[in-house]
Amino acid sequence: MASFRDLLADGRVHVFDGAMGTMLYTKGFFLNVCYDELNLKQPRLVQEVHAEYVRAGAEILETNTFGANPVKLSGWGLADQTEAVNRTAAELARAAAGARASVTGAIGPLGIRIEPFGPTARDEAVAYFTRQARGLLDGGVDGFILETFSDLEELHAAYRAVRELCDLPIVAQMTIAEDGKTSYGTDVEKIARTLTEWGADVVGLNCSVGPAIMLDAIERMAQATDRPLSAQPNAGLPRAVGDRRIYLSSPDYMANYAQRLIAAGARFVGGCCGTTPQHIREIRACVASMQPRPAVAVKRDAAAGPAGVEPAPLAARSHWGKKLAAGEFVRSVELLPPKGVQPSKMVEQARALQRAGVDAVSILDGPRAQSRMGAIPSAIILEREVGIETVIHYTCRDRNMLGMMSDLLGAAAAGLRNILIVTGDPPRMGTYPEATAVFDIDSIGLTNVVDRLNRGLDPGGNPIDEPTRYVIGVAVNPGASDLERELRRFYWKVDAGAEFAVTQPVFDPGQLEAFLKRAGEFRIPIVAGIWPLLSLRNAEFLANEVPGVHVPDPILERMREAQAVGDDAALAEGMRIAREVVERVKGLVQGIQVSAPFGRVDAALQVLG
């Protein structure tokens, strides 16, 4: 088995184990027992719990030492055995891991307050943690996990203790309440920034809350650190059942949220209180289904359709598909569906675009989580009344799998042929922030679904009456903060059946060119997103409030200088910037998709010339 340092370096997602305490409790050891002492008194039992997690697919084991510091052990009269308890715990985990898992030394809080909130000095706390860390090192751990801390100062003392003894990787995890803050009032952004400044190899959260609250916190932390993230939620919040505290989140539920945590940026997932080997088994299966392969040229091994059924060639599915298959340059313009039931403005916009010779209009699907007419009925109206081809955006946010199948089959029956699969903006960005998101599957999973429909199969592998004829597109972000993750996800989208990709708005052609050099081996057409800036406010909004969009400082400065002259000058400068980007990217991509910000089709037409 690779060491924990190797797992850190490989860029893949990895699975921690679950709750040692939960398993020992279920085996008859109640809270009047020192669980850390069981390393000495019941070593076979502790080793077997580790082994159960290894068999379930855990790649990283935590030693049974959460409370094995001299302060907590002193309450059991065991302070003088601190080193022995920790050394033995590491040896037991190592024996269970064998060649199948790595071992991290678990260190939890002291159980007392340190300065400035308590009488224990920081250096005194470091000394306590040093004894524990030394025992774990003697037992042969691959790294350390500092977990369930509420006080950053105390976590820093533990971090100092480990770092003064060795240079092994350190996972630093805090615990938060339902409001997304520690009991000391520290928010997750500060946690992420502080742990990063210290030099922790992995930063994250564990315990206290269930997966739903942790997901929101991890999404926020991902914006505040460039370090790998870890997430180990409880199996929900505990419920009182008789005289016991029971965690009720099912393995399926935990696995579903593990998928979302990974999509949010977590590279290390597992579970805390209430998490059993069955939970880890389901999480491991989820991770395996999402696991990125090495970035090499994609060679698809698609599922075969029913006997005698072949997917239609790309060129035969639509005008858009024909041009893509022939290597011809394509042009599309994004249109917003109406907020109400009257489509006349959208129809007139589409007619203007048809007269301008665009190849398709791209129909947005609830952009910015705003409630509008659906992309599918909007596209049906435009194709029927205008005769222009459409590319429907379709989000994973709003429908469960059954709803998706109904939509996709109905759209195909109505004659729609081009689809751009996107994740969708979170509801909290829109006018109904209390609305829920569904996310049964992500854009990779939905691409697989549509590819299967094109082969005459439903998601379960059952034949449908006739294959759909979708030209399948996906979104890609050349300016992603975690470019390696973006490339891995792009690989999987192409592997799932994507036939073209549309980028986020491009303002830095050099950034796009660098991305294309990395992604060129995937060998599908790339369509560059182009956004005409209407004003300085529009530019600043994109730069600061739209996830995934990168507006370089020189562009902002150009807009700032133009805006100082007036609105007309700012608009003219925005058009000039967009046309410059188009000219620079024409030789790099196979098409452009121009946005019509705030419905300004005239701005899009100026860019198209």
- Dump pLDDT digits (tens) for 343-358: 999 999 999 999 999 9
Contacts of 444 (CB under 8 A, 6+ apart): 290, 489, 492, 493, 496
Q: Which of 21-30, 32-41, 297-306, 431-440 has the lowest mean pLDDT?
A: 431-440
pLDDT value, residue 293: 36
Question: Mean pLDDT across the stretch 536-562?
Answer: 87
Residue 239, pLDDT > 50, answer no
Q: Which residues, in sequence order, are CB contacts of 215 under 8 Å at separation 6+?
A: 231, 257, 260, 261, 264
Q: Which long-range contacts (CB under 8 A, 24 or more apart) does 185-190 make?
A: 186/152, 187/220, 188/217, 188/220, 188/221, 188/224, 189/220, 189/221, 189/223, 189/224, 190/152
What pLDDT does 212 receive? 80
**Section 468-481 average pLDDT:** 92
Q: Kindly write down the DSSP assignment for every residue of 41-52, as one continuous string.
A: H-HHHHHHHHHH
Q: Cβ-count burial of 465 within 10 angstroms (0-12 exposed, 13-18 middle, 19+ buried)?
A: exposed
Residues 6+ away with beta carbon under 8 Å from 188: 176, 180, 181, 205, 217, 220, 221, 224
Q: What is the mean pLDDT of residues 401-425?
A: 89
Task: Give the pLDDT confidence score for residue 116 in this predicted structure.
Answer: 79
Q: Using the 8-state DSSP alphabet, how is residue 79 labeled? A: G
Task: Please give the average per-residue pLDDT across 246-269, as a whole number.
Answer: 79
pLDDT-derived band at 518 (thresholds 50, 70, 90) equals confident
Pull the structure tokens for residue 360: 């398709």
Q: What does DSSP assign to residue 333?
A: E
Tokens 């269930």: give the residue: 210
Predicted local confidence at residue 1, as pLDDT: 60
Domains (range + CATH), the chain: 4-290 (3.20.20.330), 314-608 (3.20.20.220)
Q: One-letter amino acid identity for 195? A: L
Cα–Cα distance measured from residue 55 to residue 53, given in angstroms and rounded to the nearest whole number: 5
| Nearest Cα to Cα of residue 577 among 531, 536, 608 | 531
Band the pLDDT of 242: cuts 50, 70, 90.
very low
The single residue listed with the structure tokens 């592997």 is 495
Amino acid identity of residue 113, one-letter, is R
Q: Would you list the DSSP string of 490-548?
A: HHHHHHHT--EEEEEEPS-HHHHHHHHHHHGGG---EEEEE----SHHHHHHHHHHSTT
More confident residue, 143 or 422: 143
- What is the mean predicted confidence (pLDDT) over 479-492? 86
Structure confidence by residue, pLDDT tens digits, 156-181? 999 999 999 999 999 999 999 888 88
- E-strand stretches of 416-514: 418-422, 471-476, 500-505
User: Who has greater pLDDT, 140 or 339?
Assistant: 140
pLDDT of 253 > 90? The answer is no
Handedness of CA 491, 496, 502, 504 (dihedral sign): negative
Q: Which pLDDT belongs to residue 384?
A: 95
- Does the predicted model carry a pTM greater than 0.75? no
pLDDT at 294: 35
- For residue 606, what are the contacts with CB-CB under 8 A and spacing of at least 6? 532, 575, 579
Phi-psi region of 387 (alpha: psi -120 to 50; beta: other; left: phi over 0): left
pLDDT of residue 241: 38
For range 177-198, the mean pLDDT: 91
